[in-house]
Amino acid sequence: MSEEQQASTTEGAPLFRDIAGDDSTPEITEIESFCVNCEDQGITRLFLTRIPFFREVIVSSFSCDHCGYRNAELQPGGRIQDKGVRYEVLIKHKEDLNRQVVQTNFATVSIPELEFESPPNKGVLTTVEGIIQRAVEGLNQDQVLRRIQHPEIAAQIDAFVDKLEKLREMKEPFKLVVDDPSGNSFVENPHAPKRDKEMTVGHYTRSKEQNEQLGLNEEETEEVPDTSENGETVSKDEVTLLQDIPHFKEVVIMATNCDACGYRDSEVKGGGAIEAKGRKISLKITDPSDMSRDVLKSETCSILIPELDFETEMGTLGGKFTTVEGLLSDIQGQLKDSNPFFRGDSSQPGMVNKITAFCDQLQKIVTGELMGVHLVLDDPAGNSYLQNVYAPDPDPEIEVVEYERTFDQKEALGLNDMKTENYEST
């Protein structure tokens, strides 16, 4: 056993291992368990692992030698995320059926074209085709008996199963939606690190009902009256700081620290309202000193590096107050922690080389070996900022463009349904 393993075991914390294709001796815990099928004793095997570019997961499987019953399940090994996540991916080609999916036991999967929705079930690591197959198997269960007792209902189910089967023939494109209030599901981007043009990823604030389903209770915090000059508010586990950024605006920096479990997190939000127009800020990186420029990336901002053909979804990385170097490092970290299909048994041919080459290019920008590239912050809310080191004079390396928001951008910001005139009468 390695020192790391011994330390983890000593502290009583679970040991999560990285998946590796050449690992012939993974640590698997075996536990005798009750078999729900024959009521005898079977074996449950637990494997705690880190999925590269994603997070820790627990892979469990049960087998019973007495009756042959088998079962497998995947559960997130980490915490419930701060926001829910919703993936919408357009399946256009047969290759898209091979997209891999991490589906937790809180996720709902739907296919709008068929008005089909699969409610939360056990967690699985599967593919788009696997999701369809799982739905077919679920609908076909008890069909033999149903054809005898309720032939009309059975005929309707058979017709619907035929529609599901035809999806695998890819005669027409269809949309797959994975909605997970826990934020722990994932759909593969086979084009990473490039943006997946056929997939949109949205993060949302959970409703009270969803928090209750996840077992989360709204806990009251004991606040200390604000007596500081900088507007700092102190609660039991959270610190909120109102910070004035020169030549920009005030922002809210929130830091959470839990002494009980060691969890730490921070988030930055604009202190003001959504601006009248969106704002795109482009920095041409010409000198290593550009790495120390301050950056405020709001939670609605996307990041582009045109020379590397790289673009993130709106809201990726959340809100941050950092530097150009810190932001580029965070992008590398996001790539290494958010794609579960990068290496090991789940890796796709060429994916390792693509991600590694891209991260190498980012590192060359950080070290000053690669200059002349552009870092673009595109924020439809207009609440992002990149430091002008020549202020109050114009910065020759920064271009700022304000633009009218599109309908989709307004929809994402919740502006389309917002009533701004005569709202007192409603």
Query: How many CB atoms neighbour CB 411 within 10 A?
Result: 12
Q: What is the third-level CATH fold of 88-120+128-213?
A: Jelly Rolls (2.60.120)
First to last CA, the chain: 67
Q: Where are the domains of the chain?
A: 14-76, 88-120+128-213, 233-272, 278-412
Residue owning tokens 């439809």: 380
**For 39-83, what is each residue's pLDDT tens digit?**
888 888 876 655 444 455 566 778 888 888 887 666 655 578 778
Please tell me if the domain spanning 88-120+128-213 has the same topology as the one spanning 278-412: yes
What tokens were used for 238? 């959270």
Domain 14-76 in CATH: superfamily?
ZPR1, zinc finger domain (2.20.25.420)
Rounded distance between C-alpha atoms, residue 355 and residue 338, angstroms:
12
Task: Rank 37-41, 66-70, 89-93, 263-267 by mean pLDDT and report only the highest.
Answer: 89-93
Burial of 36 (0-12, 13-18, 19+ CB in 10 A): exposed
Summarize the confidence of residues 149-170 as an average pLDDT. 93
Task: Confirm if 195 and 311 have CB atoms less than 8 A apart.
Answer: yes
Task: Confirm if 395 and 285 have CB atoms less than 8 A apart.
Answer: no
Task: Confirm if 84 and 183 have CB atoms less than 8 A apart.
Answer: yes
What tokens were used for 133? 């197959």
395: helix, strand or coil: coil
**For 237-246, what is each residue's pLDDT tens digit?**
555 555 555 5
The CATH number corresponding to 278-412 among 3.90.1150.10, 3.50.50.60, 2.60.120.1040, 3.30.70.2740 equals 2.60.120.1040
Q: Helix 324-338 vs helix 351-367: angle between axes, to the nearest 10 degrees?
A: 170
Amino acid at 122: K
Task: Confirm if 61 and 72 have CB atoms less than 8 A apart.
Answer: yes
Q: What is the third-level CATH fold of 233-272?
A: N-terminal domain of TfIIb (2.20.25)
Per-residue pLDDT at 206 exceeds 80: yes
